[in-house]
Amino acid sequence: MHIHILGICGTFMGGVAALASAAGHRVTGCDDNVYPPMSTQLKDLGIDVHQGFDAEQLDSAPDCVVVGNVMSRGAPVIEAMLDRGLTYQSGPQWLSDHVLRGRHVFAVAGTHGKTTTASILAWILQDAGLDAGFLIGGVPTNFGVSARFGKSEFFVVEADEYDTAFFDKRAKFVHYRPDTLVLNNLEFDHADIYEDLDAILWQFHQLMRIVPGGGRVIANVEDENIRLLLNMGCWTPVETFGLGDKADWWGGFGDAAERKISISDPQNVGASTRWRLGGRHNLENAVAAIAAARSAGVTTQQAVDALSRFDGVKRRMERTATVSDIAIFDDFAHHPTAIRRTIAAVRRRYPGHRVVVAIEPRSNTMKLGAHNDELATALQRADLVWMFRPEGMSDDFEEALGPLGAKLRVLGDYDALVADMSTRVLAGDQIIFMSNGGFGGARQTLTALLQRMRSS
């Protein structure tokens, strides 16, 4: 079967492409923005990617067009698809019909931590000898790919609440029918499609309605909005997780630098290890993943031991270079809560070092100004902040950043931002590039520039 995927370079749709290819289908696709790591993954799979959304790409008459939620009416390829009467499905529906049916589905949902939690869970299952499939909105370093079909009954999916397609405005995750559901946390996000938190809660409530009574829900005990969600209706046994012993599953740190962790399960069976991550948020993610893995029969000791060999996720505080004791990280953080947690984690792990942040507000929610009131507070603990100002930002964007004072530099040109950073960073700085996009190659450019400056 020839499958043509519209919006193939998004993390989700790129994963669908990988799964379709693994299932033996001929896969092609198109997109407008092509950058690593997804472009690299598709190239390695031998999948041809067409640049743009023109109608001519459908002349090959694919058997099925899989439509990403980046697509909308008016795009030439969409109009041609409809006019020609081609068979089409959304990505989540294709995944449900061709990959998830008949399998034990682990769905990881919530505003933050989905990618890391799903990656840890997939690795725990792999390390335990279970050849689980997965589809994750990032690339776990241990696997090197964002998706794998797997040979066992188990499948891990990052369960996103964003809408499905232009013809299906339900959240993606309602298609997945999970047996084990992880609820990490819940905040207002996606202001381009949801009016308020209540609208998001309603979508999560639809998800709760389809988890079977014989399944499991793993819920964050410390999240008030998760409690509100459960009170709306839950028909499945719930186990809680957190960083305090009031949770069924809980974890804690064994040292100030957060390199040693301990996990305890509902039977008070504990296990400890050293790991390569850091931060309270990542420990929460790990505890949730370990709890979920019990559904596949993985013991606490097995799971914690696997965690010691987990190498992280690309673009989630991924250390990409070190130049003369200047550490450079790539991070996906684009919500104030994630930004604040990341900065706090770096402060604890590298005491005495300056934390330098370069941030690109690229999400629709950020561009609409929905997070303006929280952004300055989230960045307050950074020593220096470079903010890229893209076109289309709300008029009060810079005014909202006023509390950052002299530590803030706002620039609307990538090269100018990099040049300015290169004159102010010092040995020992921990530099974090934060964006859910490519940031105009600024991280790579700064790395090359610092290497030249330090070698001259």
Domain boundary assignment for the chain: 2-92, 102-307, 318-455
- Give the residue-averaged pLDDT of 65-80: 96
Whether pLDDT at 335 is above 90: no
Q: What pLDDT is stored for residue 220 in this prediction?
A: 96
Q: What pLDDT is stored for residue 348 in this prediction?
A: 86
- Give the residue-averaged pLDDT of 369-397: 83
Q: What pLDDT is stored for residue 372 in this prediction?
A: 67
How many helical (H) and strand (E) elements, i.e. helices and strands, does the chain have?
Answer: 15, 23
Least confident piece of the model among 31-45, 273-287, 413-427: 31-45
Q: What pLDDT is stored for residue 446 in this prediction?
A: 95
Q: What pLDDT is stored for residue 138 in this prediction?
A: 85
Q: Which residue has the higher pLDDT, 39 or 321?
A: 321
Q: Alpha-carbon Rg of the chain, whole angstroms?
A: 22
Residue 414: CA count within 13 A, CB half-sphere: 13
Q: What pLDDT is stored for residue 255 in this prediction?
A: 86
Edge-to-edge strand order for the sheet containing 384-388? 318-323, 326-331, 430-434, 355-359, 384-388, 408-411
**What count of other Cβ atoms lies within 10 Å of the Cβ of residue 322?**
10
Q: Which CATH superfamily is domain 102-307 in?
A: Mur-like, catalytic domain (3.40.1190.10)
Cβ-based burial of 343 (10 A; exposed 0-12, middle 13-18, buried ≥19): buried
Q: What pLDDT is stored for residue 202 in this prediction?
A: 95
Per-residue confidence band for 164, with pLDDT thresholds at 50, 70 and 90: very high
- Give the residue-averaged pLDDT of 300-323: 92
Q: Which residue has the higher pLDDT, 11 or 419?
A: 419
Q: What pLDDT is stored for residue 370 in this prediction?
A: 58
Whether pLDDT at 210 is above 80: yes
Q: Which CATH superfamily is domain 2-92 in?
A: NAD(P)-binding Rossmann-like Domain (3.40.50.720)
- Give the residue-averaged pLDDT of 294-320: 93
- Give the residue-averaged pLDDT of 275-283: 89
With a pLDDT cut of 90, the percent of the chain lying above it is: 73
Whether pLDDT at 349 is above 80: yes
**Do the beta carbons of residue 417 and residue 359 sit within 8 Å?**
no
Query: Please, what CATH class does the domain formed by 318-455 belong to?
Result: alpha beta
Q: Which residue has the higher pLDDT, 395 or 85?
A: 85
